[in-house]
Every structure is written in C-alpha cells, then in structure tokens.
A and B are shown apart, each in its own frame.
Chain A
Amino acid sequence: MSLATATPQTERRQQSARLRRRARTARGGRSILFHLFALAVLVVILYPAVWMFMSSFKPSNDIIGSVSLVPTDGGFQNYAKALEGIGGVSFWTFVVNSLILAVGSVVGILLSCSFAAYAFARVKFRGRSVFFVCMIATMLLPFHVVIIPQYIVFNNLGMINTYWPLLLGKFLATESFFVFLMIQFIRGLPRELDEAAVIDGAGHPRIFFSIILPLMKPALVTSAIFAFIWSWNDFFGPLLYLKEPSMYTMPLALRLYVDQTSTSDYGAQMAMAILALLPVLLFFFAFQRQLVGGVATQGLKG
C-alpha cells in the first residue's frame, strides 16, 4: 500500500481500478442493451407457455394458425369441457391418483434417500466406496435396461394396474439424484456436531435423527419439490403399469383425452394441458429459489 514504490503490481492495480471506473460509466448504456436482449429471449422462451394459456380460452377453430395471444370469446367453456372427465371417469379421479403417487413418492424418497445419504456421508463401513461408485453409476444408467425384468416380475406378482410398481422404487432409494443431492448437503455440515454427540455417547441413529436430519431441512425441501414435480409429470411409468382409466394419472388422462376428442378440439386440449401443469407451475412460483438452487449445487459438485 506504500505510495512511493510504483511496482508493476500497484501499477496493475491502478490500471484495474481505471478499467473498473470505465466499466461503470459504460454500464448505463450496456444495461439497457442487456435488458432488451434478455427480454427478447424471455419472449421467445415464454411464448409457447403464454400461447398455450391464452389458447385455452379461445374457441377451438381460432387456435391453430392464430399467432395472436388475445382470446376472442371462448371464455371458460374449454375448462368446463375439460372438467367433464373422460369416458365416465371424473376429472378429479385423475387429480387424486396423481396426488397419491406424488405424495407417496415424496415420502418414500425423503425417507429412503436421507438414510442412504447419511450412510454414505457419515458412517464408515466396509464396502462403502464400492457402493458409492454403484450409486453414481446408476445415475448414468439408462433405466430401460431394468424395466423389462421389473415388468415381468410385477406382472407375475399381479401388480399390473396397481401403484406398487411406481412407488416401490421410491421407497428403496433407487433415484440416485436425490441420494447424491443429500450426500452433498450432509458433507457440508460441520463434523464437530457429530463428534460432540459421539463424546456424549450418542450412536448413529441418535446422531441422524436428532442432529443431521433437522439440519438437512433445506435439502429435504428441495428434494421434496423435485420429487413431487417429477412424479406428477411422469408419463412412461404410468404408461407401462396403469391399464384402466380409473387408475390413470393426469398425463395419461391427458393423452387419452387427446386421442379421444376430435383432433380439432384444441381448445379443450389446451385447457386440460394447463390443468395438468397447474400444480407444477404453482410449485415453480412458490419455490423457484430452491429449484434453481438445487440445480446449481447439483451441477457444481458433479
């Protein structure tokens, strides 16, 4: 910090201060340009979603080929039609079915994945590193290689058209993404807490339930939100295992609806599509910070 010696370093520092000043004055103009560009991207990004929303209020023959976002006069009749249900099955049945699976998934994933994550992050035992590699490998494994034998077994057990095949894996921590997310979180917690508890004579169950689990709340919240949304949007699993419309989830019902209604009834299809997305959108608006944060940390540690 001495003023007398003008070493290359201080010269550099001065130069960088000058650069920073120049940047600040340039920022005003650049900021407007930035926002214009960012908003342009935003329009392109959100156009399909907004178009879909607006279309759901239009009469069907006004949708295809209409660039306009302004509803003409459809009102809520598309929604009324969508809420009528499909083939004698009430719309609300699909909602309840989806909810059962989503809530079941959340409970199963939070329980089984937090157990596994604690074992991987905090307990020392033989074979841990081998299993850890297995866990990471399953994240990269295309799940198609396991669905055929799984289907055969569930078929032999008479579990087709039940929710067992869709929920069992959630209670057995097969979704490595969540195990990994929780491991990363536990590793960030100070070890001193466990060590103090060990000195006090606490075993692993005590440490987990009274120290780690309460501290894991942010990771549990993030996991719960993702688990809910992924289960809600899941199409492939229900497509394989659910055969009767009374068991259908929203995405399956939506597909059935598109198949059954005449192809030109886009208005009602859009309304139904909006209704199927509604919980996801609500979650997004309520928890966007956790969602984006979850993705960011997951990627950073990878």
Chain B
Amino acid sequence: MAGTTIARDPVRDRARRRARDRSTRAGYAFLSPWLLGFFGLTAGPMIASLYLSFTDYNLFTAPTFIGFENYQRLLTDTNFAQAAKVTALYVVFGTPVKLAAALAVAMLLHNSRRGQGFYRSAYYLPSLIGGSVSIAIVWKAMFIDDGIVAQIGQVFGGSPAADGGWVGDPGRTLPMLILLTVWQFGAPMVIFLAGLKQVPTEMYEAAEVDGAGPVRRFWNITIPLLSPVLFFNLLLETIHAFQIFNSAFIISNGSGGPAQSTLFYTLYLYFRGFRDFQMGYASAMAWVLVIVVGLISLLLFRSSKSWVHYSGDDK
C-alpha cells in the first residue's frame, strides 16, 4: 500500500518500511515457539502420517509403500466397522442429550438469581473431573455386578442384573458411557448461561405482552438469539465426542469389550498403532477420522448460515 502513493517521500517511506520490518521481526519473534510447535509437532506430523498411511510400517523395519492398501483393508475390516458404529452411536445419542440437558438447566438457572453462582459451580464440577481415570473407576464400580445402579433399577421394576451388571452386558455399556458424558453437561451449560445473559429481557417482555406463550418465546426468541452459542457447543461437543478414550479404556480394562461394545474409534486406533505396531494402518485410521471430523465440521458451518443468527444481522 505504501508503494502506490504517487508523491513519494523517500524519507517517510523508508521510516515506514523500517517500522514495518521491525513489526514483522517482532511478530515472528513472539510467534517463534508457536511456529516451531505448529510445523514441528502438528503440520509436519500430519504430512508424515499421511505418507505413513500409504505404507506398511512396524516401527522396526523401514516403511514400505503399498499405495491404498491400508484404506482398502479398512473397508473390509469388521473391527473397524464396529469401531465406527460404536463411535457414531455415541456421538449421535450422547451429544444432543448432553446439550439438551445443558440448555434446560441453563434456562432454569438463568431465571433465578439467587443461588445461581452456587449451582453453576456445583453443576460444572463433573465436567472438570469426568474425563479422569478416577471417575471412570467409580462409574465402573457403580454399574458393575449387582451395583447401586442395578439395585436402583430393580426398585423401579428393572430386571435383576446379569453377570457383571451393566459393565458385562454388551447392550448396556454404551448407554452407561453416554450417561457418563451427559453427567458432564456442566461445561456447555456454563456457556449457555453466558449466552442467555446477552439476551435482552425486554424481548421476552415484549413477546409476553404480544401474547406469546413460553413455547413460542423459547423457539422464537431464545433459540435464535442463542444460536451462535448453540453452534459453538454443538461443534465442540461433537468433535470432542469422536475422541472418547479414557473412560472406555478403563471401564473395559483396556480391551474394548465386552463383545467389542466399547471398541471406540480411538481405542481401536490405539490397539492397531501401539499394541500391534501397525503404524501405517493406524495412520490411515487417523486420516479417516480427520476427514470425517472435517466434513462434519464443514457441514455444521455450512448449515449454520441458515440457522445461526449473529447479533447485527438483519434477522
């Protein structure tokens, strides 16, 4: 931009250029740790794993190029299909339930000033500890054998626990892990609450005067005005859900069982890469995950244009 001025002032020009150079130098100096990390630990390894995904590599002998064979094998790998299925079910059922719980509780808390801070903090606690090994162990102890969950279930007329309880029942391990993620609704709830604070109360009053009931007010005011926050939560929680590992690993004792019912995508990737040392195959799995998560993010961003309203928009 500086170069296009017609009446050039060489002294001023040089001073400006020098200032810009200094700024550029400072920028790259401050950014240097990040740049090293980005190229050395993120971008570089990404390219490397893309290459590895076309090879057969066991960490001990040099990688041999095999073209698309890893990807072709994925298509016929029944374990891979199982991992994809379990993970998809977890994402599709866990995320909406968790967000619905978060939104419902946030709206409840928002309407009452007294005690809000206390409840907000208390409800947030599970989000902070839910991913830990400790909680996975507790979860397992609660659901295993004739544990408290089975007992409470029997009070409500449930059938007595089979051997191993929920933990040993392939049909119940996924609901058990979904419950664990729903239990951690606190973090999205806090974000919803912050978003609700931005909604002007006059809007609700005006709508109430105009005779809109609570349901209409929810769909026509709360949801549109909260849509940016809803989008943010949906995107983050979805991406997060794809990467579940700790709880499944601990609860299944590092096996993905029973009957592969907790063989989540990342678990299977871990088995292939770090137990069987099939680095090429695991890399192909990693890239499939990146592409799937990328496509879903893209889809969410695309769809957001029709349902997310940013303040300042006309509608």
Contact = CB atoms under 8 A, between A and B. Distances in A.
A125 B28 contact: yes
Contact of A273 (B120, B134, B232, B273): B134
Contacts of A19: 205, 208-209
Given A15-B209, A49-B126, 5 more contacts: A12-B206, A125-B27, A135-B34, A142-B243, A299-B229
A140 B239 contact: yes
A37 B23 contact: no
A208 B45 CA distance: 32
Interface of B: 20, 22-24, 26-38, 40-46, 48-49, 52, 59, 105, 108-109, 111-112, 114-115, 119-129, 131-135, 137-139, 141-142, 144-148, 150-152, 183, 186-188, 190-191, 193-195, 198, 202, 205-206, 208-209, 228-229, 232-233, 235-236, 239, 242-243, 245-246, 249-250, 253, 266, 269, 273-274, 279, 282-283, 285-287, 289-290, 293, 297
A145 B282 CA distance: 9
Contacts of A236: 245-246
A254 B245 CA distance: 16
B87 to A, nearest CB: 11
Contacts of B293: 140-142
Contacts of B187: 295
A48 B183 contact: yes
Contacts of B253: 259
A211 interface: no
A255 B41 contact: no
B289 A142 contact: yes
Interface stretch (A70-78, A84-92, A99-107, A170-178): A170-178
A299 B230 CA distance: 10
A126 B24 contact: yes
A154 B299 CA distance: 36
Q: Which 6 A-B pairs have the closest CB atoms?
A: A172-B37, A299-B191, A125-B27, A149-B48, A204-B26, A119-B30
Interface string A258-302: 110000001001100110110011001000110110011111101
18 contacts: A12-B206, A20-B205, A37-B108, A41-B119, A49-B126, A52-B138, A65-B145, A123-B23, A124-B23, A134-B43, A140-B293, A142-B242, A144-B285, A148-B286, A251-B133, A292-B121, A299-B191, A299-B195
Contacts of A135: 34, 38
A169 interface: yes
Contact of B49 (A42, A134, A148, A274): A148
Given A64-B141, A169-B37, A146 B134 contact: no
B209 A235 contact: no
Interface residues of A, number: 98
A241 B67 CA distance: 30
Contact of A46 (B122, B132, B243, B269): B122
B121 A288 contact: yes
A197 interface: no
Contact of A172 (B27, B34, B129): B34
A179 interface: yes
Contact of A254 (B26, B105, B137, B202): B137
A172 B45 CA distance: 15
A40 to B, nearest CB: 11
A141 to B, nearest CB: 7
Contacts of B142: 48, 51
B152 A64 contact: no
A152 B194 contact: no
A262 B249 CA distance: 18
A296 B194 contact: yes
